Structure 1
């Protein structure tokens, strides 16, 4: 009997340890110092999942994965017409070693032939439905796997076909990829499929770096109290996102701003029309986030800085960077014309 009690206590200790570990990982999003563009890009995608995901590029130790997991804890899952939930988003990790079958799922062809019934074993895309699909070091993922992810993200449906047998299921998720550019980049065709991109760096301001250190030490010393101290800010952000989702249905934008978006894309020499459309949708989402109905010029400016940098055409070995003066010149001419 004593052994049973000891074993039960041992199991409870493990479970408590797991819960503590889970809590330990949940550094509050509102406690992250700086990295405003990264936080904004993530928030915009959970307000408007149809944007198409975000690629976060930057050096190690810049809170990339911390921000993704922190965001999930305070935001409800992606709403659908038939599915509502008051729970929080989940972060579904996709390892870079994952096979295509593990990602999209598999059809048991033998079972289908014998019984005439489809038997589908779901993959990571099914798990990610209405949640965040997170790929760390996405630049190291095989290109055909990235293609599958982006196709599913764009269509909201995962289609699996094997030996003439087809199966499909909903796959509406927010794709978040993080990477260190020093370890290689994605092909331009794949870069263009991400709605937004952000380059993150370590803080250069001494006072901000000090604040990063202090908050981290406080969190490690007493994660429970630290998380509790940001409870109100976290709740306010959640309510703001929920309100923004409602605002998005009524957002209006003028033809003048649509014309500006087109001119900015042309002068930036980006290919296709995806950048124009994404720029407008992003500007509308920014307005919704700030609890406004009309899109303003500054919304378009901020949207362009998130939409265009990773879409710039680069020649081999060319390190072309985004030039914000293009946006300023177009907006200045617009102001003059007004």
Structure 2
């Protein structure tokens, strides 16, 4: 038996609508595919300053539908899925204790650059644990981000050790904190989004490889588009609620499309011959490990689901493969070829597509 609590009143600040963002299609597609299938493993967005990276990610979090959570649970535990429940909630379910369910907006957690490991992972109050015999756990940002989005701006400036911790949690879906022989773990399933400016240095290749997708964004060059972006921003700043109302229908339509895609995803089929060709591309590009193959398979399926189909096409793979592989190529310091172009060339060769279609 479950009891549903009413959703809290809408007091959140108004966010720029996702459907109003002009251009940056590559970044938007990568983010949407990760929402449809979080196992893709997150997105690394590299691009110039002032290209709307943070605006787009906040807009995505605002777009997502409300989710059912166990009321007053610090980990946003799911009332149905055991993999997304904290140990305490799982025990209640096992003992058939009724749960109070609340509806909550999907969380977007910002990770500040100066965050400590304790702030990220949570801490155990050893003194309380020893004196009172209870596991006194103070949840961190990973607990707050469970079933949501964890955003790290300037991820290339973050301490490598912390990036490792984030990537481990994102990959396993769990966060484990161990102090003085006391161990606590909780679900930490989130979409990890990192952004950065390439001028400030790249991430180490082994960390970069752990991100499912890599989107590169450039400053819009066409003057009419630039004017459109500037005018939109001015309209939004003048009257945010009125501006958002103009896009309400589009926002709701995209939200429904995402929900349908998540439902359809398990039924999507990727033909064996196409899977072999994806691995051929990875092999030809000399991609280390099998992450590239796995992520490309998942992304192509998510794209097919997003477009309402149960069968993956060659075009789905073409649109996803650059995002999934460009950051996994071995860097040759003497080569100036953009990695995206290299992936496209290998894709065209393996799939037998004429070069003039590029």
When the two structures are superposed, what TM-score results if normalisation uses the length of structure 2? 0.84
Aligned length: 313
Alignment correspondent of 1:175: 192
Shift in Å at residue 315 of structure 1? Answer: 4.0
SS for the counterpart of 1:332 is coil
2:195 is paired with a residue of what secondary structure? strand
Work out the CA distance in 2 between the residues paired with 1:77 and 1:325. Answer: 41
Question: What's 1:52 paired with?
Answer: 41
Name the counterpart of 1:70: 59
Structure 1 segment 18-167 matched on structure 2, within 5 A: 22-23=13-14, 26-76=15-65, 81-82=80-81, 87-167=104-184
C-alpha displacement of 1:301 = 1.0
Match of 1:199 in 2: 216
Contact 1:78 1:131 in 2 (8 A): no
Does the aligned pair in 1 maintain the 2:107–2:144 contact within 8 Å?
Answer: no
Q: Which moved more, 1:59-68 or 1:72-81?
A: 72-81
Separation in 2 of the partners of 1:259 and 1:301?
14
Cα separation, 1, equivalents of 2:251 and 2:229: 18
Match of 1:329 in 2: 349
SS in 2 for 1:311: coil
Per-residue deviation at 1:216?
1.4
Distance 2:47 2:241 in 1: 29
Structure 2 spans left out of the alignment, 5+ residues:
1-10, 69-77, 85-100
Query: Could you tell me how far 1:319 is from its partner in structure 2?
Result: 5.1
- Is the contact made by 1:57 and 1:180 (CA closer than 8 Å) also made in structure 2? yes
Q: Distance in 1 between matches of 2:105 and 2:67?
A: 10
1:224 matches 2:241: yes
CA distance in 1, matches of 2:329, 2:236: 40
Deviation at 1:78, TM superposition (A): 7.0
TM score, norm. by length of structure 1: 0.88
Larger displacement relative to structure 2 (292-301 or 75-84): 75-84
Matches of 1:88 and 1:329, distance apart in 2 = 45
Distance in 1, Cα, partners of 2:352 & 2:51:
34
Deviation (angstroms), 1:226: 0.9
- Does the 8 A contact of 1:314 with 1:320 survive in 2? no
Q: SS of 1:147's equivalent?
A: helix
Residue equivalent to 2:250:
233
The question of whether the paired residues in 2 share the 8 Å contact of 1:77 and 1:130 is answered with: no
CA distance in 1, matches of 2:17, 2:49: 19
Q: For 1:130 and 1:85, locate their aligned partners in 2 and report how far apart those are by CA, in whole Å.
A: 14
1:289-308 alignment, distance < 5 Å:
289-308=306-325
1:264-279 aligned at under 5 Å gives the runs 264-279=281-296
Contact 2:47 2:217 in 1 (8 A): yes
CA distance in 1, matches of 2:146, 2:303: 24
Structure with a larger share of its residues in helix? 1
8 Å Cα contact 2:147-2:190 kept in structure 1: yes
Q: Could you tell me how far 1:48 is from its partner in structure 2? A: 0.8
